[in-house]
Structure 1
């Protein structure tokens, strides 16, 4: 059967976070629901364009689902219905967005809403393990509750034989009579069942996290199972353009078109998760995805997007596909395990394991003595070293020296390129191998002699120790605050963007705004721009011939990027990017300006665009390895925290979340500022990913870090992050188990929940809230 080719028709941009659900209404209109707490109505304009004509607001948390409820007795013009993580359902007037009904009753997030067959009947499902059947004509009457599942009910609908079907994370589907009595339980899926759709008068379809689709009779007999997706399937919908055809989407970033039980077309999207899809009456496919966009795909050439738009879209798809299918060292990147594989202990000393980290593959070796996985290096495939070069840990160098430091111990490897400053290379070698600082001159002279360097950069040893000297600059610090030193755990006026002025506070009342779940991103705003400027000038005067020094005017313009509402020339952002190429030993003030600059929407877009952004995020992650300067580690994480100030930065950090959590887990020595930066980054990840399946990995990272935290403010932020995931995750039971089985954390929570120290009130309250959720 020949199926015409689907192509992009249009892209609807307006949401600032994931689009979790799409639906249709009358007159070819599209509804979308997003984690940005809004739903939107898109009205067709012309042949293929859509315009956002109404934005529906009112929920206090993520909007997870949306549907159109047709006209009924009480609401003759129909209603736009939304469900939210605030546990409620709202009904809006279609045209002006005025709230008409507010339904309460679910005890957890509402994850699906759909109309029944009878006018005014609405079916909802929730993470509270129930579905409810409401009659909006009489909203004062209690709904019929469909109760019997053992986990979240992800979807519910009415079949053509006047029975209800519900799909659950307990891997089952249940059929119910209209009075709420259970008819039967259908088993077959081996993982969470995510979506349902009516296929015909006698059949319906289900999709699940087991990457399969099943066709069932209305009486519960499984007629067929379809395979094609390579990951979780989130949504399924019948396709009116072909008889018995349907479409599906999921975590593999693809839409699949099915006909006669076969997957006949695949539509790849440049997004990790395609959360939802629906079909217009003309057969066009509408998708909502993790990149915050709604897209429409069509078979009709007259509705295809312009060639330039399609070309850009296809290029973005190819880039993402290349990243997921890249082969490194003979292994397909997408098939290798992520850093979560390192959470499992090795089976024998010396066992090796290949782990995917972003677009790279790392090799790790298990040490039985240390009870940990140690990174050996990058797996770079069969690529040989460049001519005249020596490869070390996956990189080419002019020299890789063997340095004997101690009798009887194996020599240490010292890689060096002629373009490097020998003093910087020596300082890096000392930091990496934890050697005494007095070795600096000896190691630098060793490099100069053995590399036979003819000339040295001017002032080559001028910045060997950036942490000493007059007018010492403390990375990330703010002007000294007047008054007494804040008590432990009390809000700091100088360095606390979480509890400081004009930010989230818990000092007055914990009932006005519960500590968990937290529902907005935090960032680091405080800074001493003059101190940063002075340090940049100092380092700028010492850089060698390999780097171009900046003029005083250029330095001033770069520092002004740190002002929140600055006006700037785009060329200045380019200069900042060049400055980020400074040696790591003098990089920290550049990172400090960068973390301030990315708060600006336009700068965020330039720093985290698709050309520069992915490599910049990788570079920041490279600064989080244990052998880097603590100041660079801390400020790199602050840049990642502030990246959440706008969508481009947020999307890139979320795309690299596995690498981020792995880097945090692998950090060794954590000073107080680094602890706060790490837990702040985990808190933002928790807010963004709490209701997604991989929230378990974020929770595991938080739990592993909590027992190492000594700073009370960092510990509090870790509690808020953990509590946010615990409150909102569909895998709550898994996370509860991980907390309960961690004796050290469990005991600390119990102790902190009973403290009477007024300076640590917020820790006490948050600990108690978490214990109540266990």
Structure 2
């Protein structure tokens, strides 16, 4: 059949983070769920507009799935059902958002919810590798659990023959009888199976990360395989307004319409990820995407958006296609949030955000006094440098970058030589032009990217890791005297040093407010050459086995730790294979892993639904008290750097209780392990600061602070605790815990009144004063 053209109909703003799921309810209403921990009901108004009439709140983590649950005996008005990364399912009153039921039973993130054909029966699936069948008419009854998958179960549906089908990250689909008995396992997809939908009374469809759609009979026979997407397919939906058609969306930023097995229409959005798609009864298509926006597309010309909106949308799409392949100021445009993030209030005065606006990147600063985001200026990429040196103020430089800070003002020049440390150059630039200290990491990363630094410059005998302070590769040692030439990207001063620091570094640290902290930190620096040599040495000990590697393979694995180098996807598989090495020789593999996962594409593969959950469990096993100290420390560094992108962040947050338990159970901690543990708790505090289930995290931080002897680690622990104290809904409870802990409270009061000359101790004094004020 001929498929009409679809055009944009409505753009629904309201969510502050990714819209991960969309669904429909009665009367052409739309439901949406978001990483901002809320779900929303959008009611049609007029011909093509929608209004947010209810916001559903109650989850402590991302809302990952949503559905309309029809009226049943216990709930004659029906329910809005949501599932979350907090492992729970909540049922709300449709009209006013009152929480009517909370279902607990899953042991990991809930990733799909849907009603059964039987009244009062709810189906759910989870990262805990199970699906569950709940009787909502009797919420106190135990749910039926479908066990058998080896990885996350992304979707569950009921087929036309009254059996269940589940889709999993283990690349399979399973069919089940209603009593929970397994019928068969369907294979064919070569990657994670993300979505299922009933196609007819006899068939159903599946979509996968392998970029394919498969048509199956209810008995498990694969009738056909369809290709059209160029990347992961996240969601699939049939279209009531177009019989015998279905719609898909995915990581290639498109929505695709299919008829008779052919992709007949493509709708491109100005985003990187279209997370979810559903269809209204009138044939309109609804999407939720990574820019936090719900969009509606229609085939009916009477519901097309106005010409100005359509033109603006088409221009955004065209620019996105070009800009998605470009980097501006060292930031890949497609990875930056759009202006919708400015709908969310800032946390601290002076907090900055980089925001994508068309093909530009603008920097905004939060004004607490005015409760508004103020535009500071554009972040512009430098022109390609010419060969040889460039003269600037009478000196020769490898690069002279132009940075546009303010409209109407000339660009500021940033000179840089490859032999310089980018953090030092960034700090000098900030001091010279009196810029906020929070710009440090942005400027340093701008330099690293645009100067195309494959390796960071060397110190006296090779680059010194600011966390180990050593030029040779000894990841577990904490006994060597440590001097640091690099500026710490987190504090703006030396990460930890026993020697004197410059006056400018002291000024930077004493003028800065540390609490609350609002961004994840990570371990960036390392001696890749030393890691390479250590991997070669250990590889020779493996001998001629399945787990040994060629020198070229080792070199390619180490290159994964470089932010700007290209790599073959097969190298990720080699890294996973190397992670199977014996624990006695594992530490350099962990070190290159924590560098590699800073990259978005690698983070997504290491922490995908198939490999990620088991990898996180393995890292936690390395924190057992009887493990090697080097493995313990580096496992925590890997968990810290997992926060570099969403997949790793989600898995670590899902495992946060196990993470905290492991830290508490660690026995003797060297200085480097103390810093790693404190950094991990700091990232958790940034993620969980405003949630209601963070009291256990506060307990863990207090426990660690009482055991810490390293000043840098103690400082980071204080920032973590102060961030919770400043923002937690349970502020009074956390205050009580701090005051009642005599050892910590006495030290806080003592440090408040001290007047140290050492910059690291000054940071502790400043931070202690901020915490005591909050008490």
For normalisation by structure 2, the TM-score amounts to: 0.54
**Would the alpha carbon gap of residues 761 and 631 (structure 1) be closer, same or farther in structure 2, given more than 3 Å must change?**
closer
Equivalent residue, structure 1, for 2:563: 663
Equivalent residue, structure 1, for 2:252: 252
Pick one of 450, 462, 468 that aligns with 1:622.
450
The answer to whether the 8 Å contact 1:683/1:718 transfers is no
1:633 offset after TM fit, Å? 8.7
In structure 1, what is the Cα distance between the partners aligned to 2:146 and 2:225? 26
**Would the alpha carbon gap of residues 762 and 582 (structure 1) be closer, same or farther in structure 2, given more than 3 Å must change?**
closer
The answer to whether the 8 Å contact 1:288/1:294 transfers is yes
1:246 offset after TM fit, Å? 0.4
SS at match of 2:317: helix
Equivalent residue, structure 1, for 2:651: 729
Q: Could you report, residue by residue, the CA deviation over 1:318-349 in whole angstroms, capped at 9, with x for unpaired residues? A: 1222245789xxxxx99xxxxxxxxxxxxxxx
In the alignment, structure 2 segments of 5+ residues that lack a partner are 328-332, 335-358, 360-381, 417-424, 459-484, 494-511, 520-558, 567-590, 624-628, 684-775
Equivalent residue, structure 2, for 1:147: 147
In structure 1, what is the Cα distance between the partners aligned to 2:200 and 2:323? 40
CA RMSD, Structure 1 to Structure 2 (Å) = 5.3
SS at match of 1:175: strand
Equivalent residue, structure 2, for 1:753: 666
Equivalent residue, structure 1, for 2:407: 574
Equivalent residue, structure 1, for 2:430: 588
Equivalent residue, structure 1, for 2:29: 29
Which residues in structure 2 correspond to 1:551-570 (within 5 Å)? Answer: none
**Would the alpha carbon gap of residues 581 and 275 (structure 1) be closer, same or farther in structure 2, given more than 3 Å must change?**
same
In the alignment, structure 1 segments of 5+ residues that lack a partner are 328-332, 335-358, 360-392, 401-414, 430-545, 549-570, 600-606, 608-614, 647-658, 667-674, 740-748
**Would the alpha carbon gap of residues 141 and 590 (structure 1) be closer, same or farther in structure 2, given more than 3 Å must change?**
farther
Pick one of 361, 385, 397 that aligns with 1:425.
397
SS at match of 1:236: strand
The answer to whether the 8 Å contact 2:152/2:609 transfers is no
For normalisation by structure 1, the TM-score amounts to: 0.55
SS at match of 2:413: coil
1:281 offset after TM fit, Å? 0.8
Equivalent residue, structure 2, for 1:298: 298
SS at match of 1:587: helix
Give the number of the structure whose alpha-carbon radius of gyration is greater: 1
**Would the alpha carbon gap of residues 316 and 107 (structure 1) be closer, same or farther in structure 2, given more than 3 Å must change?**
same
1:692 offset after TM fit, Å? 5.9
> 1:233 aligned to 2:233?
yes
SS at match of 2:431: helix
The answer to whether the 8 Å contact 1:70/1:78 transfers is yes
Of stretches 98-107 and 721-730 in structure 1, the one that deviates more from structure 2 is 721-730
The answer to whether the 8 Å contact 2:273/2:289 transfers is yes
Q: Could you report, residue by residue, the CA deviation over 1:497-552 in whole angstroms, capped at 9, with x for unpaired residues? A: xxxxxxxxxxxxxxxxxxxxxxxxxxxxxxxxxxxxxxxxxxxxxxxxx999xxxx
**Would the alpha carbon gap of residues 683 and 267 (structure 1) be closer, same or farther in structure 2, given more than 3 Å must change?**
closer
The answer to whether the 8 Å contact 2:68/2:81 transfers is yes
SS at match of 1:178: coil
1:265 offset after TM fit, Å? 0.4
In structure 2, what is the Cα distance between the partners aligned to 1:694 and 1:578? 50
SS at match of 1:583: strand
The answer to whether the 8 Å contact 2:405/2:412 transfers is no
Of stretches 200-209 and 714-723 in structure 1, the one that deviates more from structure 2 is 714-723
**Would the alpha carbon gap of residues 133 and 3 (structure 1) be closer, same or farther in structure 2, given more than 3 Å must change?**
same
> 1:177 aligned to 2:150?
no
Which residues in structure 2 correspond to 1:266-665 (within 5 Å)? Answer: 266-323=266-323, 395=384, 397=386, 400=387, 415-417=388-390, 420-425=392-397, 573-574=406-407, 578=410, 580-584=412-416, 586-589=428-431, 593-594=435-436, 596=438, 621-622=449-450, 625=453, 626=455, 634=489, 662-663=562-563
Number of residue pairs aligned between Structure 1 and Structure 2: 494
In structure 2, what is the Cα distance between the partners aligned to 1:258 and 1:202? 19
In structure 1, what is the Cα distance between the partners aligned to 2:284 and 2:58? 30
Equivalent residue, structure 1, for 2:113: 113
1:621 offset after TM fit, Å? 3.3
The answer to whether the 8 Å contact 2:37/2:57 transfers is yes
1:126 offset after TM fit, Å? 0.5
